[in-house]
């Protein structure tokens, strides 16, 4: 794909603008860093769902290493088509246990684990995959429910119920139990937490809650430092709340095509 291809030029421009937004926030937090809390560069995951494999190839030429997808069928086909061992595929969508085997064949990480059954299925699939190709353990983020009754629990309070949450992830009070089971599963490595801020509300309280859940998780699992948060419209707020992994789609790829 030549760099003067018009689509590549468009992606370069949009990617550059997003990288600039990230750099602006990171630069703004430098005084804190020099005072002793080192800021590391966040990982930008470019979410390529609904966009063709050719765009992934273009992004790779522009230096992108981390790409995200939210549906297994599309992700598996694209990973096979692009077949670039230098890419890391991040699975960010809702996941059923019966897709674990497929996801394990291409994914570097899964950001949407909210139940023990999914973690167990991924572990089983990864162990089998590792026998085949010796790949590294799958990085696992626990998706945390940040809406509904939990959205109000910003001051470190206890959630009313323990157990898997609704569509949007695990209840905050269930995170430690789920973390223990991921950490104890061969083939998986506990990377941290993930969250999606609720639509139509300011994202700050949700990201604050996620940061508090992350702090509690790290006191039990010091290595689980990842905070996957921030999309096109709220990446600045996520970075301000300590995001280590951003998942940006439409501001880089453009509007998603209506039909596949």
Ligand X SMILES: *Cc1c(COP(=O)(O)O)cnc(C)c1O
CB of 247 to ligand X, least distance (A): 4
Q: Rank residues 7 and 233 by Cβ distance to ligand X and give the closer one.
A: 233
Q: Rank residues 47 and 190 by Cβ distance to ligand X and give the closer one.
A: 47
Contact partners, residue 38, CB within 8 Å, separation at least 6? none
CB of 220 to ligand X, least distance (A): 25
Q: Rank residues 225 and 250 by Cβ distance to ligand X and give the closer one.
A: 250
Q: Rank residues 129 and 213 by Cβ distance to ligand X and give the closer one.
A: 213
Contact partners, residue 105, CB within 8 Å, separation at least 6? 76, 129
Q: Which residues bind ligand X (CB under 6 A)?
A: 47, 49, 70, 92-93, 196, 231-232, 247-251
Q: Beta-carbon neighbour count of residue 74 at 10 Å?
A: 17
CB of 208 to ligand X, least distance (A): 19
CA dist list (Å): 65 to 12, 62, 214: 14, 9, 25
Q: Rank residues 74 and 251 by Cβ distance to ligand X and give the closer one.
A: 251
CB of 190 to ligand X, least distance (A): 19
Q: Name the residue with the smallest CB distance to ligand X.
A: 249
CB of 260 to ligand X, least distance (A): 15
Q: Rank residues 43 and 232 by Cβ distance to ligand X and give the closer one.
A: 232
Q: Beta-carbon neighbour count of residue 32 at 10 Å?
A: 11
Q: Rank residues 93 and 172 by Cβ distance to ligand X and give the closer one.
A: 93
CB of 202 to ligand X, least distance (A): 16
CB of 28 to ligand X, least distance (A): 21
Radius of gyration (C-alpha) of the chain in whole angstroms? 18
């Amino acid at each position: 794909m030549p760099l003067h291809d018009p689509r590549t030029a468009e992606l370069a421009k949009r990617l550059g603008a997003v990288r600039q937004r990230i750099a602006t926030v990171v630069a703004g937090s430098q005084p804190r860093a020099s005072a002793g809390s080192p800021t590391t560069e966040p990982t930008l995951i470019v979410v390529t769902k609904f966009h063709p494999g050719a765009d992934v190839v273009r992004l790779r030429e522009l230096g992108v290493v981390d790409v995200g997808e939210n549906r297994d069928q599309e992700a598996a086909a694209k990973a096979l088509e692009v077949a670039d061992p230098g890419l890391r595929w991040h699975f960010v969508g809702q996941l059923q246990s019966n897709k674990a085997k497929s996801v394990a064949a291409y994914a570097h990480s899964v950001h949407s684990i909210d139940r023990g059954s999914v973690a167990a299925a991924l572990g089983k699939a990864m162990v089998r995959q590792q026998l085949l190709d010796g790949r590294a353990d799958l990085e696992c983020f626990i998706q945390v429910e940040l809406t509904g009754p939990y959205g109000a629990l910003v001051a470190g309070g206890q959630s009313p119920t323990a157990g898997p949450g609704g569509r949007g992830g695990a209840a905050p009070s269930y995170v430690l139990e789920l973390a223990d089971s991921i950490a104890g599963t061969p083939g998986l490595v506990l990377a941290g937490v993930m969250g999606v801020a609720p639509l139509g509300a300011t994202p700050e309280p949700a990201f604050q809650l996620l940061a508090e859940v992350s702090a509690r998780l790290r006191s039990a699992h010091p290595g689980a430092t990842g905070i996957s948060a921030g999309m096109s419209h709220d990446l600045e707020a996520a970075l301000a709340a300590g995001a280590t992994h951003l998942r940006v789609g439409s501001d880089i790829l453009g509007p998603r095509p209506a039909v596949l």
